[in-house]
């Protein structure tokens, strides 16, 4: 197949951004509908910068286990308070996006930070002291 036209870099940028929003909405909806779930994080160093990945593990509507990547980001502070603040910021961001969406209004579903805490049944991390203190 030969394609004569090219997609503009602006179109690609919009598509990538919209996919990010859709992924956040999907995650918020799954968390709002889940009875319980666990959260986990792990870090590695890349070019002298610590990079942290956060995951949510839950059983989906299909009855199967799902491990969803929430976010990968550089970590400037390694304290347990900073890690807790980061989790809270991420959950509140996806909740805000979802709660303002037509899908949330149509499904009469909402996600609040308190709901996230109520549903959280476990927190997994590496062996570092800040992770143990956070748990």
Q: 3-class DSSP state for residue 83?
A: helix
Burial 108-118 (b: 16+ CB within 10 A, else e): eeebeeeebee
Instruction: Give the predicted TM-score (pTM) of the model.
Output: 0.76
pLDDT at 125 over 60: yes
Average pLDDT for 24-53: 87
Name the least confident of 11-20, 28-37, 38-47, 92-101: 11-20
- Detail the DSSP E strand segments found in the chain: 37-46, 49-59, 65-74, 120-124
pLDDT digit string, tens, across residues 66-121: 888 888 888 877 677 878 888 899 999 999 999 999 999 999 999 999 999 999 99
pLDDT, residue 70, reads 86
């Amino acid at each position: 197949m030969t394609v004569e036209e090219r997609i503009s870099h602006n179109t690609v940028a919009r598509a990538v951004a919209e996919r990010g929003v859709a992924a956040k909405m999907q995650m918020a909806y799954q968390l709002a509908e889940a009875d319980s779930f666990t959260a986990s994080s792990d870090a590695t160093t890349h070019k002298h910068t610590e990079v942290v990945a956060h995951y949510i593990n839950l059983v989906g509507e299909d009855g199967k286990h799902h491990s969803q990547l929430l976010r990968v980001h550089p970590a400037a502070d390694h304290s347990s308070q900073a890690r807790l603040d980061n989790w809270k910021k991420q959950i509140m961001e996806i909740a805000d996006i979802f709660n303002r969406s037509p899908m949330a209004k149509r499904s009469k579903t909402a996600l609040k930070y308190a709901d996230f805490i109520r549903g959280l049944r476990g927190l997994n991390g590496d062996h570092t002291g800040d992770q143990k203190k956070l748990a």
